[in-house]
Each structure stands twice: as structure tokens, then as C-alpha cells.
Structure 1
């Protein structure tokens, strides 16, 4: 085995292990907090789903890629390839839509009383579960095209019109068919991405206005709910920025690889970038979301009364 393959396998193993550990911590934390009877923020339902989706992305992308770098090229048959790639695509798209939903809900939460979102703020928590179910249903149905054109790796390595990623192969579209196919498939992603960036810009504007207001009046005159909400908003903005950065880099590589046969190093680079956000996001939330620290303190028996400060 080449030294490059050993380094790549270690990189995928480390990325998958670290990411699953962080996301599993968040999932277990929210489960324990819920079972202990403490009140939770509405956005915690989205964050817990996002953590679960991140685990799926890491398992479905990191483990097959790691096995490929170790030289296990034919461990999946055609049915296995179809299932793995379908579930990975669903999880990837859900990660985008859940991050968009998270930023949108937080923007509504911190919107001022005289804004157009004031009436929606009280009803927004009731729409979180239906919105989440809609996202799951939509992506499960929309990604049903994935199995078509997917082949196992055993008999397609020498076919020129097939793109091989080490454990599965898919047909490379050409000409007008390729452009039409890419446009249709990228349209939902573009909508979610535009919404996410627009909402993030709105939240940045609200944070700037809040900062200017805080400089003009005494902090004791401000609403006690303002600061937890603003800290949560900064945490979500950091999460969105991380997602958009990795997403755009990976989209560029994925688009290029959809039209031409790519060398192995480019395929591995794209796979590593695709799993960067799921691996990093739990640590972004743990380090920047003060409510996660409060949950940990309550479960570990330190200052349990601190959970009374909850942002709705």
C-alpha cells in the first residue's frame, strides 16, 4: 500500500470519527435534557435533526471512501451502490435545508416587534415539526432519481462513459442533456442557498442595529432576553458561514467532476470537503452556543437553575 493511501485513509478515519463523536454528543445531550424534563428551545429540534443528518453523511461518505483508499475497491454490488449514494444524497440535501430552516427560524425570533415577522414569531414554533417533515419528504422523493445510472464497481471500471469513484460508478451525461440535468438537480439547492444567505444578511443587519442601540443606552435598560437571543444568532451565523464555505467549494468540484472523468486525488478531495461541514458543525455549536453549555451544566449538577434562561 502506498504512503499516500495510508495518509488518505487516516484522514477519512479521523474526520469520520471526530465528526460522529461531536454529533453523537449533541444528540445524546438533547435526549438527556428532554428526558430530564427541562424546557428546551424550539431550535433544539432542528439542531438535533441536523446532528443526526451529519452522522449519516459521515458514515455514508467517510467509511466507503476510507475503504477505497485502503484498496477495497469492490465491496459494494449494484444494489449497495444505489442505496448508499441515494441515502447520502438525501442526507446532504437535508443538511442544506435544515441549516436554512434553522437560520430562518432564528431570524424570525430576533425580528423587532414592528417588523413583518412580528405576528409570525408566536406561531413559528408550531411550524417547525411540519416544516421538518416537509423537508424529509421532499428530499426522499426528489432524490429518487439517484439509483438510475448507478452501477457497481466490478464491471464498469473500463467503460469510458462511466465516472468511477472507487466503490461505485455513474454515467457521465453529455451535451444538452448534461446541462439540463445539472440545472434541474441544482435548482432546489440554489433556492435554499439563496434563502440562507438572504436570511443571514438580515440577521447581520439586526445584530448591527442591536449593537448600535446597545452603545446608546445602558445595558440594564435592554431586554434580558436580548442577549441570549443575540448570542444564539451569532452561533447560527457562524454555522451558516461554515456551511456555505464548504458547500461552495464542494459544488465547484462536483460540477467539474460531473462532466469529465476525474483523477483519484480530485475525487478524494471532493469527498473530504463534502464531509467537512458535518464533522465541524457540532464543535461550532458546542463552542459558540451558550445554551449547550447550560444544558451540560444542568445535567452535571452545576447550577441547574440556569436553565430558566431560555430563548423561545
Structure 2
């Protein structure tokens, strides 16, 4: 085992452990609040699902990738690879959807309390659970197509038209087919990212207007801390910018690897970037 393999194993293992610990803390916190008869806010339902999705994503991505980095590439058979990669894709899609859902719910929650927005807020609170169930079911169904293309590395050593992910491989066909499939698969992701950016921009605009209305209150205050509006705006910016940055950068690398034979460092970089947001997300929320 080379020093590089040991370093990669430690990096992926540390990323997985820290991310799972942070997300598990959120799950434990909300579970404790529920068991102690505290009334959970509607937004807490989204946060619990986001923490679960991030934890599953880190586990199904980080553990196999750590073992692959330590040269244990043949520890999964074909069935194991299909199962792990399928659950990984479902968890990734749920993390994206719940982050988008979180931004949308926050945007509606801080909207002006007019009669029109009050009705929308009430409907939104009642639709959180049905929409969440719909997200889970739709992602479980849509990502089932991955079961047709993913193969275990044990049975794909001598096949040339494969894209190796370290612990699993996926079959590749012509450039046109890859391009079309990539565009179709990325449409839901692009839609969620667009809605997230729009909702976050809308929230920052509302918070900026509110800050101007109460500026005289904050000016007369002797506290050196930033106003609640500024702190909330910074948190929103940090969460959304972090997600968009890592998502776009990783998407470019994945798309490039579908057209070119990727070098090992590029594959490891893509795998590391894929775990950055679920790793950082709980600490931003905390």
C-alpha cells in the first residue's frame, strides 16, 4: 500500500466521519426535542430529512470510496455495486431536493404577512409531508434506471467501454448517447438549483429591505454584533453558495469524465467534491 493510497483513505474516511457526525447530531437533536414533548416547527421536518439524506450519501459514497482508495477495489460484487450506487443516487437526489425545499419554505415563511401570503404559508405548512413523500417515491423510481448500467469491478476487468468509479463501473456508449442522457438526467438537478438560487435571492432582498426599515434601531444599539437580518442573510448566502459551488464544479468534472478517460486524480477530486456539501451542510445549519 503506497503513501498516496493511505492519504486518500484517511481523507475520505475523515470526510465521511465528520459529515456523518454533524448530520447525526441534527437528527439526534430533533429526535430529542420530539421525545421531550417539544413541538417541532414545520421546517424541522425538512431539516431531519436533509440530515438523513446527507448521512446516507456520505455513508454510501465515503465508505466504498475509502476502501477503493486503499486498493480494495473488488470488495463489491455486481449486486452490491448496483445496491450501493442506487442508494447513493437516491440520497444525492433527496439532498438536492430537500435543500431546494428548505430554501423555498424559508422564502415563503419570511414573506410579508399579507392575506395572500398568509394563505400560501398555511398551505405550505400542510403540504410539507405530502411533498416529502412524493420526493422520496419519485427519486426511488427515477433512479432505478441506474440498475441497468452499473456493474461491479469484479466482472468488468476486461471490458473497455466502461467508466470506472473506483468501486463500481458504468457502461458507456456513443458520445451522442452520453450527451443526451447527461442532459436528461441533469434537468431535475438544474431546476432545483435554479429554484434554490431564486428563492435565496428573494430572501436576501426581503431581509435587505427589512434591515433598512429598522436601521435606526440597530444604529442606536450598543451591541457590536451584526443584526439578525445580516446574520440570516449571511447564513443563506453561505449555504446556497456552498451548494452551488460544489455542485457545479463536480458536475463539470463528471461530465468531462464521461467524454474523456479520467485520470485517477480527477476521479478522486470528483469524489471528494461530491461529499463536501453534505459534510459542511449540518455545521452551517447548526
TM-score under structure 1 length normalisation: 0.85
- Cα distance in 1, alignment partners of residues 109 and 102 from structure 2: 11
Alpha-carbon distance in structure 2 between the residues aligned to 1:182 and 1:99 = 22
Write out per-residue CA displacement over residues 217-254 of structure 1, whole angstroms, 9 at most, x where no aligned residue.
Answer: 6799xxxxxx8788556534432222111111111111
Moved more, 48-57 or 106-115: 106-115
Q: What's the counterpart of residue 66 of structure 2?
A: 66
RMSD of Structure 2 on Structure 1 (CA): 2.0
Q: Is the 8 A contact 2:19 2:280 kept in 1?
A: yes
**Pairs within 5 Å for 1:169-208:** 169-208=169-208
1:115 and 1:202 map into 2 onto residues whose CA distance is 19
- Tell me the SS of whatever aligns to 2:147: coil
TM-score normalised by L of structure 2: 0.92
Whether the 8 Å CA contact 1:106–1:233 is kept in 2: the answer is no
Deviation at 1:266, TM superposition (A): 1.0
Aligned pairs for 1:211-230 (under 5 A) are 211-216=211-216
Q: Residue 110 of structure 1 contacts residue 229 of structure 1 at CA under 8 Å; is this kept in 2?
A: no
Tell whether 2:281 aligns with 1:285.
no
Q: Aligned ranges for residues 1-312 of structure 1 at < 5 Å?
A: 1-114=1-114, 117-216=117-216, 234-286=234-286
- Quote how far apart the aligned CAs of 1:50 are: 0.6
Q: 1:102, 1:236 within 8 Å by CA — same for their partners in 2?
A: no
The Cα offsets for residues 116-166 of structure 1, whole Å up to 9 and x where unpaired, read as 534201222111111111111111111111011211102313322111122
Moved over 6 A (4+): 227-230
- Change in 2 beyond 3 A, CA 1:166/1:218: closer
Q: C-alpha offsets along residues 103-127 of structure 1, whole Å, 9 cap, x if unaligned?
A: 0000000001348534201222111
- Give the whole-Å Cα distance in 2 for the aligned partners of 1:47 and 1:205: 23
Counterpart Cα distance in 2 of 1:182 and 1:115: 43
Corresponding residue pairs, total: 280
For structure 2, the 5+ residue unaligned runs are 221-226
Change (3 A) 1:117 1:151: same
